Structure 1
Amino acid sequence: MNQTPVNTEALHSDLRLKHLTLKYFFAFFSGISLFLFSISLPIYLHYVQGIEDQLIAQEETSVVAARQMIQREMYEQLHIFDMVVKSNILNAYINDNSLENQLRLEDFFKSISTSFHRFDQIRLLDNTGKEAIRVNLVKGEGVLVAADELQNKADRYYFKSVQQMPAGQIYVSPMDLNIENDVIELPHKPTLRISTRLYNEQGEAAGVFVINYLAKGMLERFRHLMTQRTNQQGMLLDSQGYWLSNHVRSNEWGADLGKPDHKFASFYPKAWPSIKANSSGILEIDSGIFRYKAIEPLNYLEDQPAHFRLEHHPTITKESFANTSWKLVIFIPREKINQRTFLYQPFGRALTALILVLVAVLSFFGASFLVQQKNAAQKEKQTRLILEKQANIDALTGINNRRSFYELAEKELKQAKRKNTPLAVLMLDADHFKKVNDTYGHAIGDLVLKYLANSIKTTLRDVDLSGRVGGEEFAVLLPQTPLQEALEIAERLRKALEACQVPLPEGDSISFTVSIGLAMLTIQEEQFDQLMNKADLALYQAKSQGRNRVEQAV
């Protein structure tokens, strides 16, 4: 039974050494491995980079083809839209909405719808948002919607967005699933709404022209291009990272279908910030490599044939560019890359394992030696700290002894003088302490001093400094403390000590009081001894006036 604490202490020490050995083992193992692999790493990275570049190069054809296809598709819709807006038939109606002009415009809309097979709706809204003329594409034919079935679209964003637009500007909406009567149409109709504000010859607002471009064919052509790739993991994202097209079709249209987790960031959280922030690039993560490219279907500034030039297409609003800020993302899984690399071949893996075993052996011996050295140094340091503590701490009370207190207080005094901050010192003396020793013995006297010191520590602030400077004399230094606050602290300390009860062996207890002298630092005191002398005089005054009181030095 007597040996249990020794065995427990030895066990804890052994566990600590093992933990430290393990810690240094990993440090050595990581360091040596890093050093060895840093020698071969450039060669190996160049080798792997060559494989990755080859795979990425194979994807560039799909990226270019998809980008050009989408841009051409959008270019055509904008020019058809612009053609209709500038047509004599539409302009005749907005300047004279006679029945004859209305019938001609309705036939014109039906002809456009039937001829191009890509506009799900062609509409003319009046200034209040009410549909004046609407043609739907039904089974490949343009069909005029009856007057009693026309709807008011004043609350729709594509109507609101064009209200303050000048003549000639075109608004293109985000792509989403078409809604009729507050319900998503089935089968789904991916739709882009292209609209513009119309003005008559007098410059007065004459309504809003809107076409619903059915993007289903464009997305099908995009998916067909992606199937020509080996992995077939090609995606088209909107600006929020929702899939407009995905090789897993159930992941598409997360925002429209109430599935906020069905977006790129949920599946690839590490990749999305970079892909969102940059227009083009290659991003490598643990699971593979992404080749991404901003599509910008309304931007015809660069690398386009002559008929795609900016000067030939209508003016598009800045909001429209933001609405169609899409990203084409092609993913190459890590498994496909690894299949071609040396380290994933049997011989490469065997060689890597052998090197790691050798590094582990060297790391273990190095860690064991270092732990032995550090353990010896730690023991020496602990011995030194114990000795320093014995030299600075009062053995009975556990607070600073006189020498340590004076050294620390001298530094505080110099700092207070330099920064011109208030500094107070308290001198405390246990009242009638000799009587306690004579009546109860020195053991109880020592216990009183311990209680006194403990009450000082628990009553004071963390920034305050305390020490035993004599037999029953204690001192307290209060940094950055003005007079009134110092008086309050001294009084609080006096009351705490007055309330203290020291237990006696037979079960009773005794109480004691202290007298306190307080002195404030002035320009006259250059040394701490001078300030202590002032506090000592105040202490003498407190004792001479009846004890158990606080007196301030004059």
Structure 2
Amino acid sequence: MPWKPNLSRALRPRRLLQEFLPIVALLSGLLSLGIWPLVHSIEEAELATLRAEAQGALQESRRDLNWRFFETLADIRVISQLPRVREAVNNPSPDRLLVLNGIFHTFMESYGRYSAFSLINRQGTAVVQETMTGLVSPRLPSERNTSTTCGEITHEHPSLLAKAWSLPAGQFVVSSVYHHKVANQGCEPLLALAVPQADATGKVRFVMLVHVLLSPLLQEQRRILQLHHTSALTAILDAQGHLINSNTPGFRTRSAPDGWSARPDLDTWRSIQHTLFQERATQGSLLVDKQGLFIFAQVNPLNTEQVLVQSGKGVIRPSRRILAMEPQAWPWVLLIQIPTKSLQAREFLGQSGSGTLLVVLYLSTALLALSLAYARLLGKIGHEEEQRHSAELELLARTDSLTGLPNRRSLEELASYELARWQRHRIPLAILMLDLDHFKSVNDQYGHAVGDAVLVAFSRSCQAELRNTDTLARWGGEEFLALLPNTDRCQAETLAERLRQAVAAISIATLRITTSIGIATCHDDSGNFDNPVARSG
């Protein structure tokens, strides 16, 4: 069980008060001398909290986008692998192709995020085409058209289909975001995906073109990116700064994409681009005079490294099946702008009740001092407890856990001291090496539990025969060693006989316990503990 300090000792009022008074006096003096820097630091902390909240919203937004686009790509993959779709690709008879209209219509009605499905042959003819009610058959923007206009789109994007025909089945080709008119809804952002469809022989015979409505995928973004108790403007932009989504009312009108009121000016946008795309930062913030605070992050929901698929061996691996048709349109930029007015409303001195400023500050200082005093007292108590715990661990490290006797390490340290004393004063010193006879057979026949009981009984019997100045230690296994200061050989032999008789008197079950005892005395000045131990053995 891990060691924990005794926290209840930190709550003693007298000790806590002794720590609190000096700290509160110091902090109160510093506050009186530097109240305005403190107010400034509070405002900075408020701004940091606001920035952290916005960055948390951006992270949640990225997770939501990655998941929703992953679901969409998985849907399209499932559709392309349906048995009826495979039958129509292998044998494109009129009846089989007609069934696809119903399948495509069902998916559009069920999910609400697809505007059109088309199956195009190599001649460029849409043999199957199903369009959502209220949407004119969508066509991809021409090479010259930008993704930010919402006018009439009359030309196909030839490179999208050309790229799809050049790829094997199962891979995706993705267009950049473009906008299209939807009846009674204004301008809708769309994304087109082209999926090559191969027959049973592996030859690509068709391309399934899917138009994805981005509004259903982005519908949660306004809620996610909205900050609590702070008026903020949010937007999702492409890498060129073209608007994809916003919380500004009416942004889906034709003029909204490039007319968003919160869009940063050119210099600010270049700074954002530099941070995200040149410094390769995933997120950042920028405080701009007269515009406010911009918090931004990049996201690429079609990043191949973030889309996971199941391989044939059951292993989850990154998908390599997403190819962005126009890389300059990716990644997207998630942007939150907190206008200057919103920032000023959150300034400490600009809020109502500023007359109570001093009271609040001094109370805060007292609370801070109390927290610091508690933390300091807790640290002291923790240090005291840690020292006590360390002493206990040191004792455990020097003691045999079974018998409670000193272990080999402890005895070697004590023997070094006794040998040094013998060298200086020539006081007799003897060593007994005790070895339990046939101990291995005891463990083999009766088990280790009985063997442990024998060791404990042996150590207690021997300890009872020794003087207070003698030391009995477990040397290892069934070997024990007794260090006998101020003992000559004759006295050591007498003690050894007493120990032998005491051990013979031990009664455990039907066991007869005996011990062999070796005796050694110090007779030279080498100071080496190993020599007498070797002789005693």
In the superposition, the TM-score normalised over structure 2's length comes to 0.47
Q: Which has the higher helix share?
A: 1
Which structure has the larger Rg over C-alpha atoms?
1
Q: Report 1 or 2 for greater relative contact order, CA contacts < 8 Å, sequence distance ≥ 6.
A: 2
